[in-house]
Amino acid sequence: MPTGPMLRLRFFVCQQCETVFADPERPPPCSCGTDVPMREITGDVQTEPYFTELRDVDT
């Protein structure tokens, strides 16, 4: 199996259109076609209350 506990998603946001991508390494080119590099927001996402609520619902 290629997947396992080592695989951990990182989150990136396109600074042009604000689309968020999740990828373990680097995101695909954004479909909006911008040359602006994506900004990693992994840390922001994990402290985001919205995502914390989702985890609480899950348990």
Q: How far is the CB of 31 from Zn ion (least distance, A)?
A: 7
Q: How far is the CB of 29 from Zn ion (least distance, A)?
A: 9
Q: What burial class does residue 40 get, using C-beta atoms within 10 Å of its C-beta: 0-12 exposed, 13-18 middle, 19+ buried?
A: middle
> Which of positions 13-42 make contact with Zn ion (CB under 5 A)?
14, 16-17, 19, 30, 32
Closest CB to Zn ion among 29 and 52? Answer: 29
CA 31/CA 33 separation, integer angstroms:
5
Amino acid (one-letter) located at 6: M
Binding site for Zn ion (CB under 5 A): 14, 16-17, 19, 30, 32
